Structure formats: C-alpha cells, structure tokens
Amino acid sequence: MSGAEATRRALLVVNKKARNGGFDLDAVRGVLRRGGIEPVEPPPGETDCKALIHGHAATCDMVILGGGDGTLNAAAQALAEAQLPLGILPLGTANDLARSLGLPADPIEAAEVIASVPARPIDLGCVNGHYFFNVASIGFSADLAGELTADLKRRLGTIGYGVAAFRLLRRARPFTVYIEHDGVVETVRTIQVSVGNGRHYGGGMTVEENATVDDGLLNFYSLEVAHWWRLLALLPALRRGTQGKAADVRAFQTTEVVLRTRKPRPVNTDGELTTYTPAHVRVLSKAIQVHAPTAPTGRPSIFP
C-alpha cells in the first residue's frame, strides 16, 4: 500500500499501567504502517481513553487500544458512541476479550490481525448505563475484584486471581437475589451471579462453553451452593463453561435481566467495580466493530 488515500489513521492508546504496558511498540508500529495504518499517538500523560476517542473521532479512522480488559472496559462507551472500529493489543493480565475473540496473545501478531483482518461487529453488555465486553457479576466475583490489587496482578499475573480468590473463599456467604427475566421473577440464595456477553472472564473462567461475543445473547448463571468448598468442586466446570449442567447452578440465556438485592451490592464489570444493585443488564447487539477472526469458536486458543 502507498499513497495518502491508502493510509488509515489509527488513534493508538496504550495503558502504561497495564501488566505489559511497557512493551516496545516499534515492531507494532512497523506492522501497522506496512498494512497501511498510520498510528496517531497522544502526548505522554494524556491517558483518558474516553476523552481521547471523542477528541479524535473526526480525524481518525479507527482506534487501537493496548492494555487489558480494564482498559477496554473504560473505553467501551466512547467506542460505541464514536462508531470507530477497534483494534486490540493484548497487554493486560487476563486479556479475556482477546481470548474470546481468538486473538493472538503476542502484541506483534495481534497488530498483524489489525492490519490484515477486516473489522466485524460484536455485542456489548450494558448494566445501569455502564458498558462491558465480557461479564457483569455480583457476589464472590465482585468481592474478588475489590481484593485483587493492581500490584498483585502485575507481580503474579493470572496467578494473582487464584491468590486473591483463596483469601476470600472461606469468607464467602450466600445472599438473596431477585432475578427478573423474560416475564418471570425468581428468588434465589447464591454466592455469585454472573451475566456474560462474551465467553471468557476472570483470568481463565468461562461463562458458557458455546457463548460468543456476537450472538446477541446474555448468558446467565447463579452459583447456588450450600458451602464454600463446593466452589472448589465446580472449578473445572467454571473453567470449561459447563457449570450450567450442575444441579446447584442456575443457568439460562436472555437478552435482558434485572437483579435486585436486599441492600446495594457492587457490580463487577470486566474486573472493575462500576455500579451497584439493582442492576439492569441488557445486550446491545452489534454495537461496535472489532478487528478479529470471523470464527473464534472454531479455532483453538492461542493464549498460553
């Protein structure tokens, strides 16, 4: 490719605080330029994704974000509003959205995807006006998000999730949730409720084994276990996404659900505490475009 007409301008924003935020981008820039993409990088210190995306919406053709799921979560609403295609450089700890999309874990290989693979539409989840890519949850997962410090993630990577979970596990207690969906109201006692838009979350967990981020559906599950040790027995299923087959796990698909609790509880969206119950969760079908393979369900994970 050559000539100004063949060049797309891409706002390139990297979260330097991400676990691999210090990755040398020279090779990435080279891959992008060979693919006809000119990276436009904000001055050092300008890190507000929302403001940067809105500020460059009229002058850039796409957005490339380097970071983890928290970085993408912070930018989700601005991406939907600006209607700019997204390219992802997986530089975070878990990189669950990249995993759900079948993207390479290596940032240089991910840049090759951005440069060569057309953007395709994917869904977003929305809870109380907060957009998310992977999952919204209350209970154990939200408590874990509060416990999992940035330092722990940086030092231990995905192992940090296990360390923080072990600290919390014996303190986990069931709570009451009122679930409204598809014309019914259910009252349950649960340790965790999760509503997934994508497939993966939490550094290796799977919402539902056949879920995709472009199916127009939310996948719900509730862990209605009597004792905390039951979570240990469920762990293999939670990693595979088959927990919905267990007798003490409630699971269904929907497009909209409301979760109410007796007192406000924090809601974790993609690893960030963003709102409180009551939580109105819905799917926004085909909300944004992402440069990713067209059939992630048919290719094996290339993450380690």
Specify the amino acid at residue 292.
A
Residue 280 backbone dihedrals phi, psi, to 5 degrees = -100, 110
d(CA 242, CA 253): 14
CA 92 vs CA 39, 70, 194, 267: distances in Å: 20, 8, 22, 21
- Asked whether 168 and 147 are in contact (CB, 8 A), the reply is yes
CA 244 vs CA 3, 63, 237: distances in Å: 53, 36, 8
Specify the amino acid at residue 280.
H
The tokens for 291 are: 């440069």
d(CA 174, CA 4): 60
Which of the following is catalytic: 38, 180, 256, 272? 272
Residue 220, burial from CB neighbour count under 10 angstroms (0-12, 13-18, 19+):
buried
Question: Residue 272 catalytic?
Answer: yes
CA 277 vs CA 182, 251, 254: distances in Å: 19, 20, 19
Active site residues: 272
